[in-house]
C-alpha cells in the first residue's frame, strides 16, 4: 500500500527539477512547478533571458522546496572572512571561487558561465566542471561576496563553504610547469627528429659537410632547453635519493640523460658524430607525458581532507539583547549562545537550552539512527540537526571539541608507506648490473685497446638505458589510473595500484558504505490499508520532523490532509493524535504496548488505531545493489570483515550473504585497533569506509578507500576515493590492478631483449651511433604503444560489466515508466 503500489496514468512533472508535483501544482505561463522555489528560479532566469538553460538538458534544475534563511550568508560581510575567501583583488575587481556540489550537466555549465546576465556587476564567470567550482570576477564597489553567494543560491546553486576554506594553509594551485615542459620538449623533439632524417637516410654519410654541421648545431641548440629545464626534475629527484643513499626510479634515467647529452655534445663539437640528442629529447618527452597522466587524478581530487572540510564557516551567535549575528565558526568561544538551524552541522560541543534535538551522528559514530537529545544534555560537534532550530551554549570551542580531539589523536595519524615500489626495486638491480657491465668493459678495453674504452662505455650506458622499463611503468600506471577514473575509482598515485594488487584482506564499514543514507526503503506489513486510513497516517506523520516519520510520509501516496487534534510526540517513543474521531499511535513497540506481531530487520514503526494494532512499517537505509555477488566473488580470495558502529539488528540479514566476520558497536578506536591487529598478523588490508568514524582505520590500512556518492563531497583522508555506484565492481577493479605487474613484466622482457642485442655490439665498441640513435626512440615508442594497448585491452571485462549494469538499469527505468 505504499507509493510505488499506486501506478498513476499520468504524472505532472516540475518544469524546473523534473520531480512529480504531488502536494501542489504551481502554474506560470504554460509551465508547471512543484514548489514556489522552483518557480522563483524560473522567473529569475526568464527575466534575464537565460531560459536556454532548459533547452540544453531536460529538467536540469534542482528541487527548491527547502528554503534558505535570509541571513545565512551574513558572515560573508566579515572583512576577515572575505580576506580568506577572495583569491585576488585590485581597485575594481575581486576574484572568488565557489564550490557548487549541485553542478551536474551541460545546462549548469552554460548557466554558470552566463552569470553576468543575472548580476550586471559580474565581469565574468568560469566553470571548472571536474572540480565543480565556478570562479567569479565581480566589481566589489557595487556588490560583494555575500551577494554572490545569495545570487548563486537563488538560482539553485547554494555554494558549499567550509571551515577548511578559512585555514591558513597555503592555497593549492595547479602546477603548470609540467605542461610547459611537455610543450617545450615536444616542440624540440619533433624538430630534432626532422633535422635527423638526413642522417638516418644517409646512414651518417651526408655529402655536404656544411649542411651536416648546420643541422648538428641546430639539434644541439634545440636540446639545451630540454636538458637544462625539462629534464631538471629527474636530476633533482636522483640527487635527493643519492643524498638519502637510495637509488630511486629517477637515478638511472637521470644518468642516461646525462651520459647521452655529454657524449652527443662531444661528438658534435669534435665533428666525430651526430650524437644521440633525438633519443635524449624523446626519453624526456615520453617520461613527462606519462607522469602527467599519473598526476592528473591527484591534482583534480582532494585526498587529504580533514574535518574542517565538513564544518561550516559561519554560525548564528545570539547576543545578550536577543539579536542574532552571523560570525565565523572560528570566533565562537566557550560560554557563547548559538543558534543551529535544521540540516546544519553542530560546530562545537554544546549544551542544549531550547528546542528539540534530533542529531544525525552517522558520519562521526557510524550509528545510522538519529539520536534525540533533551534540554540540558551535551551535544557533541559534528552531528547534523534534522529537526527545527536549536539554541545552545558552547562548552568547548571548535579547537577543543570532541571531534577535533578525535581527529588530532596521534593514533589516527598514518605513517607514509615505506615499502618500495616494484619498479624501484627492479630499477635498482638494473642500475647495479648496468654499472657492473660498464666497469668490466672499461677494464677490458683499458688493457687491450684504450682507444675504444670511452666509446664502448658510453655506448653501454646509452644503449642499455632503462628507459623502456621506466616508460613501461610510467605509461602503464598513467593509463591504468585514467581507466580506473573512468569507472569511478580515483587512486591517489601509482603505488596504490601495487598495494591493491597485494591485498589479501578487505574490511568494510556498514553505514554509508554498504548502505545509502540519502534514501530509505519502507515496507508495510499488516492489515490492508484503505485510502482513508493512509490519509490519516500520512496526516499524523507529517506533524513530526523525525527521520522515520519523514520516511513514512515520503513512501505513502499523496491524498487528502486531515487536521490532527491533541498531537503529542514523546521523545524516542512515537507520536499520537486524534484524526476524524479516531485515536492513532505511531511508534515503537513499547509506545503501542505491543507484545507480539510483526518482525523484520530495520527500524519497526507500529501503527495503532484506537485499541488495535493494524500493521507496521519496516524502515531501513537500503543496501547498495550488487553486494551479494560481490561478497561471493571475494570470499575465495580474500579474508573479509564488516565493522559497524550500528547495532546488531541487521546481523541476520547480513549473515545470510556476508561470509566474513561481523562486528557491531564498533567505535572509531575499535576499528583502528582491528586494522592494527590484522597488520600485526602480516595481513595486507584494504579498508572501505565513508565517515569520520572510519578516518583512523582508513589511514592505518595499507589501502584506504573512501566511498562517496559525490567525489567532491567531504570524505576522510584516503588512498582512493570511490563512487558508491562502483562498489559492486570492487573485485573486478582489484583484478584490473593486479594486471599492472603483468604488463610491466611483458614490456620489461622486450626491453631486456633489446638491451641484450644492443649490449652485444656495444661492449665490442662496434655499435654505430646512427643505428643506436634510430633504435632508441623506436624502442621507446614501441613500449608506449604496448603498455597503453595492453592496459586498455585488460579493461574490457570492466567495461562489459559496467555496460551490463547500465543496460539493466535502463530496462528497469523503462519498465517503471511503462507501469
- Give per-residue pLDDT as tens, 503-547: 999 999 887 788 875 667 888 988 888 888 998 998 898 877 676
Q: Which of 296-310, 385-399, 730-744, 793-807 has the highest mean pLDDT?
A: 730-744
Whole-prediction pTM: 0.59
Q: Assess if residue 84 is contained within a domain.
A: yes
Is the confidence at residue 814, as pLDDT, over 50?
A: no
Q: Among 361, 395, 413, give the residue marking a domain's end.
A: 413
Three-state SS letters, 681-739: CCCCEEEEECCHHHHHHHHHCCEEEEEECCCCCCCCCCCEEEEHHHHHHHHHHHHHHHH
Is the confidence at residue 224, as pLDDT, over 90?
A: yes
In this structure, are 84 and 157 located in the same domain?
yes
In this structure, are 322 and 342 located in the same domain?
yes
Q: E strand or H helix at 723, and its extent?
A: strand 720-723
Q: Assess if residue 559 is contained within a domain.
A: yes
CB-CB neighbours of 339 under 10 Å: 16
466's grid cell: 632503462
Cell numbers 490492508 label which residue?
Answer: 528
Per residue in 97-135, pLDDT (tens digit) is: 888 877 766 667 777 888 888 888 898 888 877 677 888
Residue 443 buriedness (CB in 10 A; 0-12 / 13-18 / 19+)? exposed
The pLDDT assigned to 171 comes to: 44
In this structure, are 506 and 543 located in the same domain?
no
SS3 519: coil
Residue 322 buriedness (CB in 10 A; 0-12 / 13-18 / 19+)? exposed
Per residue in 242-284, pLDDT (tens digit) is: 777 766 667 767 877 888 788 888 888 887 777 778 878 887 8
CB-CB neighbours of 111 under 10 Å: 27
In this structure, are 655 and 722 located in the same domain?
yes
Cα end-to-end distance, the chain, whole Å = 16
Average pLDDT, the chain: 76
Residue 432 buriedness (CB in 10 A; 0-12 / 13-18 / 19+)? exposed
What is the distance of C-alpha 761 from the center of its chain? 51
C-alpha to C-alpha distance for 632 and 741, rounded to whole angstroms:
26
C-alpha to C-alpha distance for 329 and 343, rounded to whole angstroms:
16
For residues 149 and 122, the answer to whether their CB atoms sit within 8 Å is no
In this structure, are 592 and 642 located in the same domain?
no
In this structure, are 540 and 615 located in the same domain?
yes
In this structure, are 380 and 334 located in the same domain?
yes
| CATH code assigned at 610 | 3.40.1110.10
In this structure, are 325 and 408 located in the same domain?
yes
Q: Among 722, 739, 756, give the residue marking a domain's end.
A: 739
Q: Among 122, 145, 161, give the residue marking a domain's end.
A: 161
The pLDDT assigned to 160 comes to: 77
Cell numbers 570470499 label which residue?
Answer: 635
In this structure, are 616 and 646 located in the same domain?
no
Domain count, the chain: 5
Q: What is the DSSP string of 599-636?
A: --SSEEEEEEETTEEEEEEEEEPPBPTTHHHHHHHHTT
Q: How confident is the model at residue 552 (pLDDT cuts 50, 70, 90)?
A: confident
581's grid cell: 474521531
Tell me which residue range forms the domain holding 382.
307-413
Is the confidence at residue 138, as pLDDT, over 80?
A: yes
Is the confidence at residue 563, as pLDDT, over 70?
A: yes
The closest of 113, 72, 608, 104 to 340, measured between CA atoms, is: 72
Phi-psi region of 376 (alpha: psi -120 to 50; beta: other; left: phi over 0): left
Q: E strand or H helix at 751, and its extent?
A: helix 730-762
424's grid cell: 624501484
Phi-psi region of 525 (alpha: psi -120 to 50; beta: other; left: phi over 0): beta
Per residue in 332-381, pLDDT (tens digit) is: 888 899 988 877 778 888 899 888 888 877 656 555 567 788 888 888 88
Q: Where does 90-179 show beta strands of DSSP type E?
A: 93-99, 122-128, 133-139
Amino acid at each position: 500500500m505504499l507509493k510505488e503500489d499506486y501506478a498513476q496514468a499520468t504524472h505532472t512533472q516540475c518544469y524546473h527539477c523534473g520531480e512529480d508535483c504531488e502536494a501542489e501544482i504551481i502554474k506560470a505561463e504554460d509551465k508547471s512547478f512543484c514548489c514556489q522555489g522552483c518557480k522563483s528560479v524560473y522567473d529569475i532566469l526568464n527575466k534575464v533571458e537565460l531560459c536556454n538553460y532548459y533547452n540544453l538538458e531536460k529538467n536540469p534544475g534542482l528541487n527548491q522546496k527547502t528554503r534558505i534563511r535570509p541571513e545565512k550568508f551574513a558572515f560573508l560581510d566579515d572583512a576577515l572572512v572575505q580576506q580568506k575567501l577572495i583569491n585576488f583583488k585590485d581597485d575594481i575587481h575581486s576574484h572568488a571561487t565557489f564550490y557548487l556540489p549541485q553542478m551536474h550537466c551541460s545546462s549548469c555549465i552554460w548557466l554558470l558561465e552566463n552569470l553576468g546576465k543575472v548580476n550586471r556587476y559580474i565581469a565574468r564567470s568560469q566553470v571548472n566542471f571536474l572540480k565543480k567550482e565556478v570562479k567569479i570576477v565581480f566589481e566589489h564597489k557595487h556588490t560583494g561576496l555575500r551577494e554572490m553567494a545569495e545570487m548563486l543560491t537563488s538560482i539553485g546553486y547554494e555554494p558549499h563553504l567550509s571551515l577548511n576554506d578559512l585555514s591558513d594553509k597555503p592555497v593549492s594551485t595547479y602546477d603548470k610547469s609540467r605542461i610547459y615542459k611537455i610543450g617545450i620538449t615536444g616542440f624540440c623533439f619533433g624538430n630534432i627528429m626532422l633535422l635527423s632524417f638526413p642522417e638516418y637516410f644517409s646512414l651518417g654519410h651526408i655529402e655536404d659537410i656544411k649542411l651536416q654541421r648546420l643541422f648538428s648545431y641546430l639539434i644541439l641548440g634545440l636540446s639545451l632547453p630540454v636538458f637544462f629545464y625539462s629534464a631538471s626534475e629527474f636530476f633533482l629527484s636522483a640527487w635527493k635519493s643519492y643524498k638519502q643513499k637510495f637509488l630511486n626510479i629517477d637515478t638511472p634515467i637521470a644518468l642516461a640523460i646525462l651520459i647521452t647529452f655529454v657524449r652527443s655534445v662531444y661528438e658534435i663539437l669534435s665533428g666525430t658524430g651526430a650524437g644521440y640528442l633525438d633519443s635524449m629529447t624523446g626519453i624526456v618527452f615520453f617520461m613527462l607525458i606519462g607522469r602527467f597522466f599519473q598526476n592528473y587524478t591527484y591534482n583534480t581530487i582532494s585526498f587529504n581532507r580533514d574535518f574542517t572540510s565538513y564544518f561550516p564557516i559561519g554560525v548564528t551567535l545570539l547576543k545578550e539583547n536577543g539579536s542574532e549575528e552571523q560570525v565565523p565558526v572560528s570566533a565562537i568561544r566557550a560560554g557563547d549562545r548559538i543558534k543551529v538551524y535544521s540540516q546544519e552541522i553542530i560546530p562545537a560541543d554544546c549544551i542544549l537550552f531550547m528546542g528539540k534535538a534530533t542529531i544525525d551522528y552517522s558520519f562521526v559514530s557510524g550509528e545510522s539512527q538519529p539520536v534525540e537529545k533533551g534540554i540540558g544534555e551535551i551535544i557533541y560537534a559534528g552531528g547534523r540537526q534534522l529537526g527545527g532550530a536549536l539554541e545552545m551554549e558552547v562548552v568547548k570551542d571548535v579547537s577543543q571539541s570532541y571531534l577535533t580531539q578525535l581527529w588530532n589523536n596521534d593514533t589516527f595519524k598514518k605513517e607514509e608507506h615505506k615499502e618500495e615500489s616494484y619498479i624501484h626495486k627492479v630499477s635498482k638491480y638494473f642500475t647495479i648490473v648496468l654499472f657492473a657491465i660498464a666497469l668490466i668493459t672499461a677494464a677490458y678495453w683499458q688493457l687491450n685497446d684504450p682507444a675504444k674504452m670511452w666509446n664502448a662505455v658510453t655506448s653501454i650506458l646509452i644503449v642499455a638505458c632503462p628507459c623502456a622499463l621506466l616508460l613501461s611503468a610510467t605509461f602503464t600506471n598513467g593509463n591504468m589510473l585514467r581507466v580506473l577514473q573512468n569507472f569511478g575509482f580515483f587512486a591517489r598515485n601509482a603505488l596504490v595500484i601495487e598495494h591493491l594488487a597485494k591485498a589479501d584482506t578487505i574490511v568494510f564499514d556498514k553505514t554509508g558504505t554498504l548502505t545509502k543514507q540519502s534514501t530509505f526503503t519502507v515496507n508495510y506489513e499488516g492489515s490492508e490499508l484503505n485510502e482513508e486510513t493512509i490519509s490519516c497516517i500520512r496526516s499524523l506523520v507529517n506533524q513530526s520532523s523525525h527521520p522515520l516519520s519523514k520516511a513514512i510520509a515520503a513512501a505513502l501516496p499523496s491524498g487528502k490532509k486531515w487536521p490532527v487534534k491533541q498531537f503529542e510526540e514523546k521523545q524516542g517513543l512515537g507520536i499520537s493524535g486524534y484524526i476524524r474521531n479516531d485515536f492513532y499511535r505511531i511508534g515503537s513497540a513499547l509506545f503501542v504496548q505491543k507484545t507480539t506481531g510483526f518482525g523484520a530487520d530495520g527500524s519497526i514503526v507500529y501503527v495503532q488505531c484506537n485499541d488495535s494494532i493494524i500493521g507496521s512499517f519496516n524502515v531501513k537505509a537500503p543496501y547498495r545493489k550488487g553486494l551479494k555477488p560481490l561478497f561471493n566473488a571475494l570470499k575465495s580470495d580474500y579474508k573479509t570483515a564488516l565493522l559497524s558502529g550500528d547495532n546488531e539488528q541487521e546481523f541476520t540479514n547480513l549473515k545470510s550473504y556476508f561470509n566474513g566476520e561481523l562486528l557491531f558497536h564498533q567505535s572509531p578506536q575499535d576499528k583502528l585497533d582491528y586494522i592494527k591487529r590484522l597488520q600485526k598478523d602480516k595481513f595486507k588490508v584494504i579498508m572501505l569506509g565513508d565517515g569520520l568514524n572510519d578516518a583512523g582505520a582508513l589511514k592505518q590500512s595499507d589501502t584506504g578507500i573512501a566511498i562517496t556518492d559525490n567525489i567532491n563531497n567531504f570524505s576522510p583522508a584516503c588512498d582512493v576515493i570511490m563512487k558508491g555506484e562502483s562498489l559492486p565492481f570492487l573485485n573486478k577493479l582489484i583484478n584490473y590492478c593486479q594486471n599492472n605487474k603483468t604488463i610491466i613484466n611483458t614490456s620489461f622482457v622486450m626491453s631486456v631483449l633489446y638491451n641484450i642485442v644492443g649490449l652485444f655490439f656495444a661492449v665490442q665498441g662496434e655499435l654505430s651511433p646512427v643505428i643506436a640513435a634510430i633504435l632508441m626512440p623506436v624502442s621507446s615508442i614501441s613500449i608506449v604503444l604496448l603498455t597503453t594497448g595492453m592496459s586498455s585491452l585488460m579493461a574490457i571485462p570492466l567495461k562489459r560489466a559496467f555496460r551490463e549494469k547500465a543496460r539493466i538499469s535502463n530496462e528497469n527505468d523503462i519498465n517503471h515508466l511503462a507501469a
